[in-house]
Structure 1
């Protein structure tokens, strides 16, 4: 933990962002401070902004959100009949949000207003970023943010900031996902050659069994509170902006003996990976990933080509659809727990 005020100057600027990120990487963020600190980590707030500037930005963004939301709320039934893209996206979102994290108290029960907020933010985002729109998995990324923010407008803009980094994961051509899976393959080759050789023998070098891990940043793999702690570690980008790939390697190495001894092929490997959900220790996983990142050093960084997400520059024209031929097991159905 850290003393937040010790990082601020008299006007509220963060004086040492790198040290702050290091502290968060090591010790996390106090839950009561997350609504504020996450805005900095997601770059909704600039570290060199003053308290007054941030207050003014929030006022501005709240009004902008209301305008965006009013755009789709004003679509009449007659308009909707002639607006197929809107109908399709709204329908997908409505189906997904009622199955997203309903086992948590915040989203549980009937007629839950938080589920309504989840829906409204996602529909509004599909208007804000119409080219990207909505894909399965986005409700998973928004859910913890809304849980932390407890505010519709602030959750929207924080989510929009996150999607500036993770939007390529949902692009039509899937280049963002493929580039990360390729980088993961190179890291395994560097850090565990026998495991890489095994995956080659069973024709699993595409690493599609890690698809969900990367797509939604391990949202399904850890218990809810651990997801919050993990994400703020990733968002610091303290050791690497691709630290999530080292987490993938750490998890694979931890289970390498079982994978190889049981001669797992793609189907059994994917089943095994999915069944790890909710049974992964966060602390040991982070320690393992940090060790691997240090061990890999510059050679590890060289495995990850420039532009690999979340560093990939945003392409505003990249639509969000699932390409034909994507294995059904890889698609992300909304989580209920």
Structure 2
């Protein structure tokens, strides 16, 4: 209701009382600005088609009310087409849940700890496919009835007794303990993760994803991206598909080869943007040996999860996704037919996010840069004076950037990123092109 006081959102993501050093949120639920339950429901037609343009601007202005955050994210991450009906979405949701259960059953068949309510934090296999003999500790809440205890060494021995293990299986098994170690460290300040079933759910989702994405598998940082999905979406399969859609955008950052890491391309873009908008800072960083911008890896890899409070990082993400929103992505993800592809051209520009509309005005062969690059650039520009005057080495750069943890304003950072984006596009278009 207009005139009502802003409500802090911390209460929706309860922190364990002993965690006294956790930064508090700056995000407040503001009546008239935050996307409320009432405004969200009013954006749907009687049969369930969503007028997405009504919600994008409001999300940018004031974020999403925590009680509807999960279902709105499913649209922002293009799990659903806004033009679909309630009935069509329910049918698709059931299909996806069934698909996830089949994938999970395959993983359980290979390694029965998957889906058991337990997870592992120690390796179970060597790189040449042999079982590790050390006794394995399975993480579990209790010895409650109905919880089957698995001996992972015996599982691997049984697998090997049937013949040499497929390389894909060996590579996957090698990842499982690392996932378990990261799960134990992820958002450990939240009361939500005091429950073993929630930790196990996070492990299961990441393990299943690692099985299907044979190119990327699992890398550190992916648990930080997946964790909010578990918290916001009650059904495990829904959380999985939300995470899978997010990884479609970000998986390039995690793809590694013998000679490079995927995020390097975004770091080079960040260097290019900084050189255009703040050449003095870029030159200073190069002089310090930081021209590769490796100090910004964490910000790009996990989308500022460590620089913001938990609640503020969610607020930042949904603003980013609203600004970048492209309604065509749903069909691109679903592998459209030619007939469906032709329909995409007639969409109104108002159904695209503000940042995406600016990109669409630029006609070029190169793919547009993600807003995350401009967010990092906005942080660097904000700290430009301090970096120029106080940074005498890379350690100083890292320290200055580490000190921003908990002090950044998500909305201000997004607005500044949009300004830098426009400035960059304008300056880049004025530069002479190489022939």
Give TM-score, length-normalised by structure 1. Answer: 0.83
Q: Which runs of 5+ in 2 are unaligned?
A: 1-33, 112-154, 325-352, 357-369
Q: Are the equivalent residues in 2 in contact too, given 1:126–1:134 (CA < 8 A)? A: yes
Alpha-carbon distance in structure 2 between the residues aligned to 1:148 and 1:300: 40
Kindly indicate whether residue 137 of structure 2 is the aligned counterpart of residue 51 of structure 1: no
Kindly indicate whether residue 124 of structure 2 is the aligned counterpart of residue 89 of structure 1: no
Deviations along 1:71-99, whole A, 9 cap, x unmatched? 11112513555442232111111111011
Q: Which runs of 5+ in 1 are unaligned?
A: 304-337
Please, which of 131, 153, 176 is the counterpart of residue 237 of structure 2?
153
In structure 2, relative to structure 1, the CA distance for the partners of 1:302 and 1:222 (3 Å cut) is: farther
Deviations along 1:241-278, whole A, 9 cap, x unmatched? 52212211111111122212123322331233234323
User: What is the number of equivalent residue pairs in this alignment?
Assistant: 300
Find the counterpart in structure 2 of residue 168 from structure 1: 252
Q: Are the equivalent residues in 2 in contact too, given 1:80–1:86 (CA < 8 A)? A: no
Of Structure 1 and Structure 2, the greater helix share is in 1
Alpha-carbon distance in structure 2 between the residues aligned to 1:205 and 1:104: 37
Find the counterpart in structure 2 of residue 185 from structure 1: 271
The CA RMSD measured in Å over matched residues stands at 2.1
Kindly indicate whether residue 389 of structure 2 is the aligned counterpart of residue 261 of structure 1: yes
Structure 1 segments, 4+ long, off by >4 Å, are 300-303
Describe the SS at the equivalent of 1:45: coil
Give TM-score, length-normalised by structure 2. Answer: 0.65
In structure 2, relative to structure 1, the CA distance for the partners of 1:105 and 1:302 (3 Å cut) is: farther
Find the counterpart in structure 1 of residue 412 from structure 2: 284
- 1:302 offset after TM fit, Å? 9.4
Which range moved further: 274-283 or 111-120?
A: 274-283
Please, which of 190, 196, 213 is the counterpart of residue 112 of structure 1?
196
Find the counterpart in structure 2 of residue 319 from structure 1: none
Q: Are the equivalent residues in 1 in contact too, given 2:281–2:384 (CA < 8 A)? A: yes
Find the counterpart in structure 1 of residue 17 from structure 2: none
In structure 2, relative to structure 1, the CA distance for the partners of 1:210 and 1:279 (3 Å cut) is: same
Find the counterpart in structure 2 of residue 317 from structure 1: none
Alpha-carbon distance in structure 1 between the residues aligned to 2:59 and 2:429: 22
Describe the SS at the equivalent of 2:189: coil
